[in-house]
């Protein structure tokens, strides 16, 4: 790899201590002189098509935000380096960076593609399009009444229900908000979409797993109360009553660089189920 860029969440490294260390390590391992540095919050308009690898320094939120903002001509893999808290989406911890870089140079790694969602919101006065790597959430405001949802899949009515909200999730997002609301874990490189209710008031709505090519249309009714649409828990839009939402697979996926010894189930135990001490080392 000759062209390696680094995107960093500056709030995680105010004095550039981590950034400078990473730059030095990358230069030494790959024997390259110049490494472009980007603010992870400001890459939307940048042309990164020449990169062979983009290293993202931060936590899950940093990677999610960057994934949504990357342009369609970006095709390089992403190496997530956790300098935040959970780091579920990260490929390595900052403490293991030197070992991780040497594995990459030796070819001891693989690329896993993760599907993203495209969300189109038709409001009375405008139309908005958003991308999501984890999920699209439609939910009531804090003091609002329950929302009435009509859900259509490929033009056919699936369910009408009242509740606090609705989560449309990718496999990557199945371990996030969808899991908290009772949704299933989905292996991350599959191409399926899950719809999970949030506190459904009736039994007419259950989590459903759909093929990745499904087109989901949602009509929301909440009179004059607040309704919000949120992508990846970061970007929110206030909705009006009778808003129409369409969610489908995005034409672009994100390529995550993982190592050959990557163990999805170990990551699930350690960072989601929190019982790794009981399970690590267990074998048939």
Q: Is 162 annotated as a binding residue?
A: yes
Whole-number Å distance between alpha carbons of 32 and 17: 20
Q: Is 164 annotated as a binding residue?
A: yes
Q: Is 214 annotated as a binding residue?
A: no
Q: Is 45 annotated as a binding residue?
A: no
Check if the beta carbon of residue 23 is closer than 8 Å to that of residue 35.
Answer: yes
What phi and psi values does residue 221 have, to the nearest 5 degrees? Answer: -135, 125
- 60 an active-site residue? yes
Q: Is 177 annotated as a binding residue?
A: yes
Mode of pairing for the β-strands spanning 117-122 and 244-249: antiparallel
Q: Is 47 annotated as a binding residue?
A: no
Q: Is 40 annotated as a binding residue?
A: no
Whole-number Å distance between alpha carbons of 187 and 63: 19
Whole-number Å distance between alpha carbons of 59 and 73: 24
Q: Which of 13, 42, 47, 60 is catalytic?
A: 60
Q: Residue 220, Cα to own-chain centre: how many angstroms?
A: 24
Q: Is 217 annotated as a binding residue?
A: no
Binding residues for NAD(+): 60-61, 134-135, 145, 162, 164, 175-180, 234
Q: Just list the catalytic residues.
A: 60
Binding residues: 60-61, 134-135, 145, 162, 164, 175-180, 234
């Amino acid at each position: 790899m000759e062209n390696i860029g680094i995107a960093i969440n500056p709030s995680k490294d105010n004095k550039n201590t981590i950034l400078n260390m990473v730059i030095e390590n990358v230069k030494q391992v790959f024997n390259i002189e110049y490494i472009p540095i980007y603010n992870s919050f400001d890459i939307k308009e940048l042309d990164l098509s020449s990169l062979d690898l983009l290293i993202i320094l931060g936590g899950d939120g940093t990677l999610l935000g960057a994934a949504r903002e990357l342009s369609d001509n970006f095709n390089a893999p992403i190496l997530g380096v956790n300098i935040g808290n959970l780091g579920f989406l990260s490929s390595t911890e900052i403490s293991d960076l030197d070992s991780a870089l040497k594995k990459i140079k030796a070819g001891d790694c693989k690329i896993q593609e993760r599907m993203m969602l495209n969300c189109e919101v038709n409001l009375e006065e405008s139309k908005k399009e958003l991308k999501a790597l984890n999920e699209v959430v439609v939910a009531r405001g804090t003091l609002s009444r329950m929302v009435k949802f009509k859900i259509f899949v490929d033009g056919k009515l699936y369910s009408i229900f009242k509740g606090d909200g609705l989560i449309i999730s990718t496999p990557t997002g199945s371990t996030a908000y969808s899991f908290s609301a009772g949704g299933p874990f989905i292996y991350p490189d599959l191409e399926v979409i899950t719809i999970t209710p949030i506190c459904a008031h009736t039994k007419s709505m259950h989590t459903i797993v759909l093929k990745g090519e499904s087109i989901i249309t949602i009509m929301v009714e909440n009179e004059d109360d607040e309704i919000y649409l949120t992508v990846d828990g970061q970007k929110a839009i206030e909705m009006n009553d009778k808003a129409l939402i369409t969610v489908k697979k995005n034409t672009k996926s994100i390529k995550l660089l993982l190592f050959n010894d990557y163990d999805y189930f170990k990551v699930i135990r350690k960072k989601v189920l929190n019982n790794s001490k009981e399970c690590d080392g267990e074998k048939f």
